[in-house]
Structure 1
Amino acid sequence: MRTLLLFIALSLLGGCAHADKGPGSLPYKYWRLGFLAPDYMEVWVETANVEDIRGQKFFQMGAGTVSVHLPKDGSGNAKGWGERFGWGAGRYVNGADLPKRIYVRWQSLAEPQTYSTTLEIPERARQLMSERLENPCPTIAYRHALAIGLAPGGVIRGWVMSTCDDPIEVFRAQAEVEPKGPSQGKTDGQYALPLEPESRTYIEQHGIPYGSW
């Protein structure tokens, strides 16, 4: 009986030890994909499809408006990305291993223009997402978020981060204009949303700062 109880206890402990581990090489249950844009440069993501390092594909892992700052007093600045920003509007990619590539198609509402590209996620990004933080957050020990910045002109920046450490840039890319236009190539060809008044006013006064991202 004592041997049986010891076996049960060890089994339970083993289950607890692996409860937070994700599939394959992922050291946690899931990672987060988020999208953001510079101040006032509003974006609508039509689709974001993920392929992980095991070849699994996850569709519609991003859609809708992205995280963007729209100060009503005009105090925002669309140039550059700043030193601190959130991890973007998005969702957790459940059941996926570390990301290998991401296809994204989006509407740059500030221009307006539609872009699409397939992002090859570098090995450095996966290494950083797998390393334990030297000074972990209270509940997070890894950089489990991948944030993708989408700017006018099809400029893309990518960072990995956690909820409590600074973002680390892991890639830059340039997307191509989507020849089928907005609305996923449908015949209506309409953009998803009109610009917010704050964005329209900023662009009328300052223009779009191409080359600053």
Structure 2
Amino acid sequence: MKIHLALLISLLLSGCAIGAGKSMPYEAWRLGFGAPAYMEVWIETADVVDIQGHIFKRAMAGIASIQTPANNRGNPRGWPKRPGWGKGKYVMNADLPRLIYVRWQSLVEPQTYEAYIEIPESVRAIMRKGEKAYCNADDKWITDYRKAIGIGLAPGGIAKAWVLGPCLPPIEIARVEATVDPRGPYEGKSGGRHRPLSGISKAYIEQFGIPYGSW
């Protein structure tokens, strides 16, 4: 935790030296979260530090995008070749990200994790670059941007991140192994009680278990 705190402080101090103008060619970028089928998570908070040094607390919170097909027909192993944007929202009034902190409850274990995902300049360069792309929805060629960061959260504290655009293929940018938050759920304020797991996910876990090592 001390190392993580020192990292956050150093990023904030270095970010404060950057000018006030936004560095991206669009109004806002989007932060979204997903989870493998049945592997339910609850995001307590996802905080963002942008390259100006501004902090956006709870830029995202709540449930992550997930599929829970009936009769155990889903497959939680691995990640899709084209991950979606996930459940989330645009980080309004922010410049491009420098650091994303996420604390979440893995309900199938249950366990509480926290992870720090650093966004290097090489990724921000991808997010600034416009590319010609064909959009099936509009049936035309456009100049598209990868203006979203999608993060997958899996049991064992695995967090994987991609940058993607509406009509452009995703690019993997990070895989992080989170640490267990020793305070437990809700920073120790819930008496160790995690949010409940849904019946359909519980039934899958009881029959097939958690496919650790596949993410």
Q: TM-score range by the shorter chain?
A: 0.7 to 0.9
**Matching of residue 177 in structure 1 with residue 180 in structure 2:** yes
Deviation (angstroms), 1:103:
1.0
Query: Could you tell me how far apart the structure 1 residues matched to 2:143 and 2:50 are?
Result: 22
**CA RMSD, aligned part only?**
1.7
Contact in 2 for aligned 1:23/1:96 (Cα 8 Å): no
Q: What is the correspondence of 1:5-44 to structure 2 with a 5 Å cutoff?
A: 23-44=21-42
Question: 1:187 & 1:195 partners in 2: Cα distance?
Answer: 16
Matches within 5 A, 1:115-126: 115-126=113-124
User: Residue 206 of structure 1: which of 201, 205, 208 is its match?
Assistant: 208
Structure 1 residue ranges without an equivalent (≥5)? 1-21
CA contact (8 A) 1:124 1:170 kept: no
In 1, the alpha carbon distance for the partners of 2:205 and 2:100 equals 30
Q: TM-score normalized by structure 1?
A: 0.85
Deviation of 1:117 (Å):
1.9
Q: Deviations over 1:120-140 (max 9, x none)?
A: 112232111111022154577
What is the CA distance between 1:85 and its match in structure 2?
2.9
TM-score, normalised relative to structure 2: 0.84
- Mapped to 1, the partners of 2:129 and 2:34 lie a distance apart of 24
CA contact (8 A) 2:133 2:167 kept: no
Count of equivalent residues:
191
Contact 2:106 2:112 in 1 (8 A): yes
- Structure-1 separation of matches of 2:60 and 2:168: 24
Give the ranges of 4+ consecutive aligned residues of structure 1 lying more than 6 Å apart after TM superposition. none
Preserved contact between residue 151 and residue 161 of structure 2 (Cα < 8 Å)? yes
Equivalent of residue 197 in structure 1, options 181, 196, 199: 199
Matched letter for residue 97 of structure 1? D
Q: Provide the identity percentage.
A: 53
The aligned counterpart of 1:128 is 126
1:51-66 aligned within 5 A: 51-66=49-64
Q: Could you tell me how far apart the structure 1 residues matched to 2:53 and 2:66 are?
A: 32
